[in-house]
Amino acid sequence: MFKKVLVANRGEIALRIIRACKELSIKTVSVHSTADADSLHVRFADESYCIGPAKSSQSYLNIPSIISAAEVSNADAIHPGYGFLAENPDFAEICETCNIKFIGPPSKQIKNFGNKAKAKELMLSLGVPVIQGYTGKCETRKEISLAAKEIGFPILIKAVSGGGGRGMRVARNVEELEKYLKIVRGEAQVSFGSDEVYLEKYIQNPKHIEFQILCDEHGNGIHLGERECSIQRRHQKLLEEAPSPSLDGKLRDKMGELAVKAMKSIGYANAGTVEFLVDEGGDFFFIEVNPRIQVEHPVTEMVTGVDLIKEQIKIAAGEKLAFKQEDIRIQGHSIQCRINAEHPETFVPSPGKITSLNIPGGLGVRVDTGIYGGYNVLPFYDSLIAKLIVFDKDREAALAKLKWALEEFHFGGIQTTIPFHQKVLQHPQFKSGNYNTNFLETYF
């Protein structure tokens, strides 16, 4: 087992990793920007190093500074969390070169899945259903027309290296396709350093379902059930639950088994999610693999009792999975709300000082956060400030618990998306469990 782990992240996920390390008796090292000097992940790590100014590109994305902190502190592993460098194959490769264990899949696999067009080709070769697409250049009107004819409208334009809902547009005719290709290429270049895009058939009214996978370095792999992630705004997830309220047992088993088989066949190691769209007819299609831990991982932990961060660390340390597929039991129901420091209707960021704070608690109520009373929500980073997770015997009971937990969750001094979540919970379509990725566009 590792003696010391450096956490290359900030906020709630950094604190979450630090806690898991403490339970495994592993020393921790945190890194921080000048703006984050008073953060909880700095306070509760055994050591902490400033790696640059507030701007992410000069701190949390500064690979030389992070590697230097790892070497100075004698850390033998780095956990990247999610976001920032978690899916950067160059960072993982540098860690490997420096003999520092990267707690995640090997750099080669991150690179393979980072290119979403190539990931689709790989999954198709493994027998996983994929959405019809086009990977040509689409630089001339003739090529654009050819792509449109081959796929058929509506067409989804996606950045090859995209993620987090960025670099995506839906085109419903040739004119929109030409227009949005330029826009998505520009967004992709700015956000991901590559303007490469690909096209695929846009599936209307799908459900977004992802399966949590764990694979060790000895060829063993399991899934821990699915998460329903269809409440989205501009392809960014806002609320997740496990299990999905609309997936039947037969389809669940089929999708889970296929996801595990595919990941094991390529020698995948560590945690990851295989993501699918399920259409109105019950057919499912692969969309991407996220080769890291996800923001929404707590709902899986609540219904399985498996600590995914600990399992990541154990796998990276060379241990075999302690579970077989038949050991995994999905019990009860869990729902997570992402609490962002944003206006609840316009979603405009709302940075500032938290003047008062009340965090809900009790049996089956979990809050993952890195904030506290008097904390300054910074304008430099993602607006996610807390994750409210509830668990109960079934979905109805979990919804009732989530309702009062949101009522008790209070922030003074800033605006949050709590009122938005309360509106979602009150909507009959959400209560029924029969909703899809167009829920917000349709009802809000």
Residue 104 near residue 312, CB atoms below 8 Å: yes
Question: pLDDT (tens digit, 9 = 90+) per residue, 377-398?
Answer: 999 999 999 999 999 999 999 9
Average pLDDT over residues 69-94: 97
Q: What is the pLDDT of residue 28?
A: 98
Kindly state whether residue 159 falls inside one of the protein's structural domains.
yes
Mean pLDDT of 336-357: 97
CATH number at residue 306: 3.30.470.20
Q: Which of 169, 227, 292, 338 is catalytic?
A: 292
Asked if residue 316 and residue 409 are part of one domain, the reply reads yes
- 98 and 170 in one domain? no
The rounded mean pLDDT for the chain is 94
Domain stop point among 103, 120, 143: 103
pLDDT at 297: 98
> CA-CA distance, 339 to 359, in Å (whole number)?
12
pLDDT at position 163 is 65
Q: In percent, how much of the chain has pLDDT > 90?
A: 79
The span from the CA of 150 to the CA of 131, in Å, is 13
Average pLDDT in the 356-382 region?
Answer: 97
Quick check: 125 and 110 in contact, CB under 8 A? Answer: no
Q: What is the CATH number of the domain that holds 152?
A: 3.30.1490.20
- pLDDT tier, 135 (very low <50, low <70, confident <90, very high otherwise): low
Cα separation of 116 and 184, whole Å? 15
3-state class (DSSP) for residue 92 = helix
Q: Which helix (H) or strand (E) holds 67?
A: helix 63-73
Last residue of a domain, one of 52, 83, 103: 103
**Whether residue 139 is found in the same domain as residue 168:** yes
> What pLDDT score does 126 carry?
86
Print the domain residue range for 152.
Answer: 132-201
CATH code where residue 47 lies? 3.40.50.20
Give residue 165's pLDDT: 66
Distances (CA, A) of 251 to 257, 298, 331, 405, 431: 10, 23, 18, 32, 22
Q: First-to-last CA distance in the chain?
A: 49
Kindly state whether residues 149 and 272 are assigned to the same domain.
no
**What pLDDT digit, counting tens, does each position of 18-71 carry?**
999 999 999 999 999 999 999 999 999 999 999 999 999 999 999 999 999 999
Q: Which residue has the higher pLDDT, 234 or 430?
A: 430
Q: Quick one: average pLDDT of 102-116?
A: 92
**Same domain membership, residue 374 and residue 312:** yes
Which pLDDT value is given to residue 13? 98
Identify which of 85-99, 121-135, 182-196 has the greatest average pLDDT. 85-99
What domain count does the chain have?
Answer: 3
Residue 409: burial class (beta carbons within 10 Å; 0-12, 13-18, 19+): buried
Question: Above 90 in pLDDT, residue 11?
Answer: yes
Q: Which residue, 246, 14, 39, is CA-closest to 29?
A: 14
CA dihedral 17, 22, 25, 26 (to 10 degrees): 40
For 97, 290, 377, 443, the CA distances from 51, given in Å and listed in that order, are 21, 27, 20, 44
Active site residue 292: yes
Same domain, residue pair 144 and 277: no
